[in-house]
């Protein structure tokens, strides 16, 4: 089977998320890294691209040059990953979708709900994939939680509790550090800081696992470091469209917490608990029975879990392998389209532009509610009401 061709915008040398994408896309041999515009400094991007093995004529200086260079090629890239800073996602994603490329965009997909709606409409009109990198939904045991909920192991879902709380912006002495400051500046970050950066991962995971979307929310947002305009901590109460209640905490001042993405799901027949820092164990307590530890890689888990487990039981699997599972879904989707067949349903789980749009609506709802002492507001994008 011929390899698919993959390109990347952003993710230059020293970037936070670039290496995880390259590891994830390269893992299965489905994608060949073929083109890139990796850095906001054209020369640095060209040079780094070639060091990573790109041909000189496909190590581009910026994304427009890459779009022009790739669109006319017979061997043009099959998928473009957008891993640049947030404010650039919309125009780059829009440009590549319009030119007929499949796109995997980093989160948050856009800066406004209107832009999100435009991307959803564009993906639908062009028939191109626009995936959004809620990469943590690629973990095998997250997929297994989803399968357990879908097959009814927990019965009706009563409550979901999601957290994404870290302590990396907790030092008030660091508040003026330029690498930190922009995140809390509305001119650069938009209407929300911590919720838009991390809270949307927790919300996406909650929705993904329980199969319900946020309908209403009420938010308490605070800037614990007083010089900040945008929130560094938020507690959000939610009501989902299938009847579940949601509690979501996100923070960047939680000293001692490292990454801090966790999910608990409580149904009428049992409860689940999973933490991203120990992703290879899932705690399952059926009502009236003993607590059980489900290990990733165990026999007889769901097909969704089996498909996404990569190394044998008892050996650690982590974040780049979760990203690899998103890329594996996308490789299957692109190949199925090329071959004119239906894709494997167990792979049809990658997050979509619709998810990116729902996140944007939630970001604006959190900001609105947070400014109005927690008034309940509609959490849905207008086009899904």
Contacting residues toward ligand NAI, per CB under 6 A: 9-12, 15-18, 37-40, 62-63, 83-86, 88, 106-107, 133, 135
Minimum CB separation of residue 76 from ligand NAI in Å reads 18
Cα-based distances in Å from 197 to 190, 202, 255: 11, 10, 18
Relative to beta strand 79-83, strand 31-37 is: unpaired
Minimum CB separation of residue 297 from ligand NAI in Å reads 23
- Say how far apart CA 316 and CA 312 lie, in whole Å: 9
Q: Which residue's CB comes closest to ligand NAI?
A: 12
Minimum CB separation of residue 39 from ligand NAI in Å reads 4
Closer CB to ligand NAI, residue 63 or residue 96? Answer: 63
Closer CB to ligand NAI, residue 324 or residue 377? Answer: 324
Closer CB to ligand NAI, residue 201 or residue 335? Answer: 201
Minimum CB separation of residue 232 from ligand NAI in Å reads 16
Closer CB to ligand NAI, residue 190 or residue 297? Answer: 190
Minimum CB separation of residue 313 from ligand NAI in Å reads 25
Closer CB to ligand NAI, residue 109 or residue 253? Answer: 109
CA angle, residues 147, 148, 149, in degrees to nearest 5: 90
- Say how far apart CA 48 and CA 59 lie, in whole Å: 8
Closer CB to ligand NAI, residue 84 or residue 212? Answer: 84
Minimum CB separation of residue 13 from ligand NAI in Å reads 7
Minimum CB separation of residue 345 from ligand NAI in Å reads 24
Closer CB to ligand NAI, residue 111 or residue 148? Answer: 111
């Amino acid at each position: 089977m011929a390899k698919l061709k993959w390109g990347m915008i952003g993710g230059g040398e020293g970037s936070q998320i670039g290496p995880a994408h390259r590891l994830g896309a390269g893992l299965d041999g489905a994608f060949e890294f073929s083109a890139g515009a990796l850095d906001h400094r054209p020369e640095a991007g060209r040079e780094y691209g070639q060091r990573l093995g790109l041909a000189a004529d496909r190590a581009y200086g910026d994304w427009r040059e890459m779009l022009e260079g790739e669109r006319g090629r017979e061997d043009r890239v099959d998928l473009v990953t957008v891993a640049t800073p947030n404010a650039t996602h919309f125009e780059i994603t829009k440009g590549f979708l319009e030119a007929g490329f499949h796109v995997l965009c980093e989160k948050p997909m856009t800066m406004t709900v209107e832009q999100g709606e435009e991307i959803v409409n564009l993906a639908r009109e062009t028939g191109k994939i626009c995936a959004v990198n809620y990469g943590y939904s690629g973990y095998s045991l997250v997929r297994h939680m989803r399968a357990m909920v879908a097959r009814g192991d927990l019965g009706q879902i009563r409550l979901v509790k999601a957290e994404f709380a870290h302590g990396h912006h907790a030092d008030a002495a660091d508040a003026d550090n330029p690498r930190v400051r922009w995140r809390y500046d509305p001119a650069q970050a938009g209407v929300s800081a911590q919720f838009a950066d991390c809270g949307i991962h927790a919300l996406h995971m909650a929705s993904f696992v329980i199969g319900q979307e946020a309908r209403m929310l009420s938010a308490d947002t605070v800037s614990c470091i007083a010089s900040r305009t945008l929130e560094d901590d938020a507690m959000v109460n939610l009501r989902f469209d299938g009847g579940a209640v949601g509690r979501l905490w996100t923070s960047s001042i939680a000293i001692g917490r490292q990454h801090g993405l966790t999910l608990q799901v409580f149904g009428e027949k049992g409860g689940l608990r999973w933490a991203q820092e120990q992703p290879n164990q899932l705690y399952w307590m059926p009502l009236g029975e003993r607590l059980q530890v489900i290990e990733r890689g165990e026999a007889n888990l769901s097909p969704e879990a089996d498909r996404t487990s990569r190394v044998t039981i008892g050996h650690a699997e982590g974040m780049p392998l979760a990203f690899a599972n998103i890329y594996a879904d996308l490789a299957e989707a692109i190949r199925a389209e090329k071959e004119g067949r239906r894709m494997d349903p167990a792979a049809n789980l990658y997050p979509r532009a619709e998810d990116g749009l729902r996140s944007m609506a939630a970001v604006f709802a959190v900001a609105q509610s947070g400014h109005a002492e927690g008034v309940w507001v509609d959490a849905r994008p207008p086009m899904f009401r």
